[in-house]
Amino acid sequence: MVFKGTLGATNGTVSALPTSGYSAGWTYRVVDAGVYAGEYCEVGDLVIAVKDYATATADTDWAKVEHNIDGAVYMGHGGAAIGSTTQPVYVKANGEVAAVSYSASAA
């Protein structure tokens, strides 16, 4: 990844993604919420070129990485554990939701 700057109509080092000459790995951090590469982006999201510029700008040349995903999803035992480190829940296969205990372990 090559950090190229910030993206935003008001406060960004660029107001829009480049339409030519970009290379895979070029990365911009969103500083003004808006639609970039066909996706709504919030402040803090990253927009990364996933392939080099060829002939025409396509929204599929870019990928969005969300900054605000707090928590994890684990599929197993017929359900999914979802939530954050402060309020995890377990969604059973039948749709029931139950609180679960959480303990962080050192990675």
Question: Are 8 and 52 found together in one domain?
Answer: yes
The stretch 76-87 carries a mean pLDDT of 48
Question: Model's pTM, two decimal places?
Answer: 0.63
In the predicted structure, residue 40 carries a pLDDT above the cut 70: yes
Domain count, the chain: 2
In the predicted structure, residue 49 carries a pLDDT above the cut 70: yes
Q: Is 30 exposed, middle or buried (CB count within 10 Å of its CB: 0-12, 13-18, 19+)?
A: buried
Question: Are 16 and 30 found together in one domain?
Answer: yes
The stretch 37-61 carries a mean pLDDT of 85
Question: Are 58 and 80 found together in one domain?
Answer: no
pLDDT of residue 67: 81
Residue 95 lies in domain = 70-107
pLDDT tier at 73, thresholds 50, 70, 90: very low
Question: Are 51 and 10 found together in one domain?
Answer: yes
User: Dihedral through CA 48, CA 21, CA 10, CA 32, nearest 10?
Assistant: -10
Question: Are 58 and 18 found together in one domain?
Answer: yes
